[in-house]
Structure 1
Amino acid sequence: MLGVSLVLLLVAASTGGFSALFMTASAIGALTAIYVLVTGRRSWAVIPRRKVAAVALGGAIIVGIVGSSLVPASVETDLASTSSQPTATAIPSATPSPTPTPSAFTEEAPADPATTTPASEAASIVLTDTAATDTTAIALLATLTVKGRAPKTGYDRSGSFGTAWLDVDQNGCDTRNDILARDLTGTVKSGNCRVLTGTLPGPYTGKKIHFVRGTSTSSLVQIDHVVSLSNAWQTGAQQLSQAQRVSLANDPLNLLAVDGRTNSSKGDGDTATWLPPMKAYRCAYVARQISVKATYGLWVTQPEHDAMTRILTACPDERAMASAFAPAPVVVAPVAVAPVPVAAVPVPVVVEPAPAAPAPATPPAPAPAPAPAPASAYYQNCDAARAAGAAPVRAGDAGYGRHLDRDGDGVGCES
């Protein structure tokens, strides 16, 4: 009987957690105590008489009460009254649907994934926290490109964004456990990583949810991609590198622990088609979506842009958020290209001809010989001979006379 009881306790602990363990122990203890009370016989559990059995029965009941208190409740105390909070313009949200079983191809990945991370997917990524910036969300929205959705062709959760969930910071914890540890209060862990229990102050509904790890309970708390991976794929993520998409899928800026039912109602909706039921959280939700899209260079559709603007009109001072988690974009340095040598083309040398030597000065044409003077010519003096063009006058010429040749050399009027 002892062996059977131990087996039952082990099965209960492995399948249902602490609550199942306590309640199984309570049932075994109560049945054993009742057996001793009714029969008066010593039991296998060494309960010698009825008085001890009565005490054991009381203890079993107390253990059962403790176990039942650990059963998760999906709805509990309101954290905030939506009527007392400032509200943004209401946009109809999608009708909630039953919580589906998580799978690797939905926006919510398996509840308890392995933590082994392919080195190629986790390289160069460091986990950091988010922080408010000095920029308002509505100002950051004005910087986003507005255009239509791209086709969903080629989208694949694990192929496009890496295996879910990765241990990107190599701390031994997958991203799901990192976010549970960040967003839940009063957490109990197994070792330094595995979150076993905790309380979620649900940001989308304002309701508390008690989280207990288990096959049937883990999915009550899911990790939501604020900008769904499907939406990201259709608004620019196709153009990112694989490392940047893995970063987007694991960036704390884009992740929130939320209740599973509300996460299922959201699906891959954007601001134009889905908003958190709790109006008081809508400004922060939209600001986070804008911050994610700005960080990863994604665009918004016109309906999405208009819906974001309407929400932020009620809270114009809502700040955008920043995360240093995203890997720096790869900058390809320009390759220096050596100039291609150009074959030398001989430049024609224009040799100007040497200046021609000046032509020898042409001697002036000799004055025409004076027409011979008529034989009867007579020149009274040299002036008259010159005027007649007869100077000089030589002996034998017409008009020669000794009165013209003063030196008697036979030439008169030579000067």
Structure 2
Amino acid sequence: MTSLRTKTLSLVALLAFGAVGCTPVADTGSAPAPSSTTRPADVEPSPPTETAPPSDPAAPPADLVAEGTALEQLAGIPIKGRAPKTGYDREQFGPAWADTDRNGCDTRNDILARDLVDIVYKDGTKECVVASGTFLDPYTGATIAFVRGNTTSTAVQIDHVVALSDAWQKGAQQLSAEERRQLANDPLNLMAADGPANGAKSDGDAATWLPANKAFRCEYVARQTAVKAEYRLWMTQAEHDAIAAVLSGCPEEPVPLREGSASAAAAAGAGAPAAEPAAVPAAPGGPVAYANCTAVKAAGVAPIRPGDAGWDPKFDRDGDGVGCTS
């Protein structure tokens, strides 16, 4: 009995304590009392984080400027004023269209062979002189039927991406005669172009002229930047800003690779086919065919002989049993 009475009194006491200690407090909207970890009253709370102001639309996101981009290369180009044109002459850059790569063909025909398709060579020139072909102009997007001739050759011209006059006024005066000759004949600085478009460009830089074909502008200014970096030339502030504005829309545009590299054909022009590449078999074990000696050389199989994969009698113009020797 004593045990039962004791338990009953304990239960009554417990219920009474709960009725007092657990009574809910009405929500008055006031903040709860600070805990022991609450910041002291004399310490100012941190201000709320403000939203960063919008960035300059001409400035590319920093995380997109990767190593090897045209933007990164642009950052290393010196900015100076344009020097006087005094002393400039085309002859300062050596004879026009010299055979600097010693392949037996002049530079103009090398570039036509690189940038045109459906090429027909002039007989007796060992596939050096381009007689006709089809050209997709990257500057305008137009397709041009090229025919060699006194009144027709000018339809497709060879543009110095960095004009020689512009180069002269931005550092080329300090180059050696041989360096200037290389600059004038460097495939990196040369592109087949629509004649009227090339005439409109004249010796302008990116601040005064850009291709009408906007899809090609990123590649165009990237190539100008690469040429100026290669030959230690500078830019004016206006030119630099114009190129930066273009590249802001394509911050991952790569630095154009030099001729002969695996991706050099991509630097020849947006949508402008380069020299015919080596054809690949349509299926494993299928026949190999080359469009011309340019493709044979690009595949690294020149000279080519009867019995070699891809041999065609058209490669042996002089009948000596060996094709694509020059």
- Scaled by the length of structure 2, what TM-score is found? 0.58
CA RMSD of aligned residues (A): 1.7
Unaligned runs of 5+ in 1: 1-87, 90-132, 326-415
Larger Rg: 1
Give the whole-Å Cα distance in 2 for the aligned partners of 1:167 and 1:277. Answer: 31
The verdict on how the C-alpha distance between 1:324 and 1:212 changes in structure 2, with shifts beyond 3 A counting, is closer
After superposition, the Cα gap between the structure-2 partners of 1:192 and 1:324, relative to the gap in structure 1 and judged at 3 Å, is: closer
Paired amino acid for 1:192: E
In the other structure, the counterpart of 2:87 is: 154
Secondary structure of the residue aligned to 1:318 is coil
**Aligned equivalents of 1:195 and 1:322: distance in 2?**
25
Aligned partner of 2:240: which letter? H
In 2, Cα distance between the equivalents of 1:266 and 1:197? 25
Give the alignment of 1:247-396 within 5 angstroms. 247-323=182-258
Alignment identity in percent? 60
Name the CA distance, whole Å, in 1 between partners of 2:162 and 2:69.
19
- Tell me if structure 2 keeps the 8 A contact 1:295–1:322: no
Separation (CA, whole Å) in 2 of partners of 1:281 and 1:186: 23
1:213 equivalent to 2:153? Answer no
CA contact (8 A) 2:79 2:234 kept: yes
**Where in structure 2 are the equivalents of 1:189-204 lying within 5 Å?**
189-190=121-122, 191-204=126-139
Q: Provide the residue aligned with 1:179 in structure 2.
A: 111
The answer as to whether partners of 1:202 and 1:208 remain within 8 angstroms in 2 is yes
Matched position secondary structure for 1:197: strand
Matched, 1:163 2:98: no
The answer to whether the Cα contact below 8 Å between 1:134 and 1:320 also exists between their aligned partners in 2 is: no
**Conserved in 2, the CA contact under 8 Å of 1:236 and 1:298?**
yes
| Residue aligning to 2:317 | none
Alpha carbons 2:80, 2:237 under 8 Å: kept: yes
Establish whether residue 145 from structure 1 lines up as the match of residue 78 from structure 2.
Answer: yes
Q: Distance in 1 between matches of 2:255 and 2:169?
A: 23
Partner of 1:233: 168
TM alignment of 1:95-110, pairs within 5 A: none
Local SS of the residue matching 1:135: coil
Matched position secondary structure for 1:284? helix
2:80/2:236 contact within 8 Å kept: yes
Post-superposition offset of 1:172: 1.6
Measured in 1, the distance between the counterparts of 2:195 and 2:259 equals 28
How many pairs were matched up? Answer: 194
Q: Aligned-pair distance for 1:284?
A: 0.3
Give the alignment's TM-score, normalised by structure 1.
0.46
Residue 238 of structure 1 aligns to a residue whose secondary structure is helix
Structure 1 position 134, deviation (Å): 5.8
The CA deviation string for residues 355-392 of structure 1, in whole angstroms up to 9 with x for no partner, is: xxxxxxxxxxxxxxxxxxxxxxxxxxxxxxxxxxxxxx
Q: Judge conservation of contact 2:187–2:259 (CA < 8 Å) in 1.
A: no
- CA deviation after TM superposition for structure 1 residue 322, in Å: 3.7
Residues 161-201 of structure 1, C-alpha deviations (whole Å, 9 max, x = no match): 00101111222210000000000011001232010000011
1:78 corresponds in structure 2 to none
Q: 2: distance between equivalents of 1:206 and 1:134?
A: 30
Letter in 2 for 1:145: P
Question: How far apart are the structure 2 equivalents of 1:192 and 1:186?
Answer: 13
Paired with 2:100 and 2:237, the residues of 1 have a C-alpha distance of 34
1:67 alignment partner in structure 2: none
Report the Cα distance in structure 2 between the residues aligned to 1:232 and 1:134, rounded to whole angstroms.
26
Match of 2:7 in 1: none
1:324 to partner: Cα distance: 7.2
Q: Kindly tell me: are residues 241 and 322 of structure 1, through their superposed partners in 2, closer, same or farther at Cα, counting changes over 3 Å?
A: farther
Structure 2 residues without counterparts, runs of 5 or longer = 1-56, 59-65, 261-326
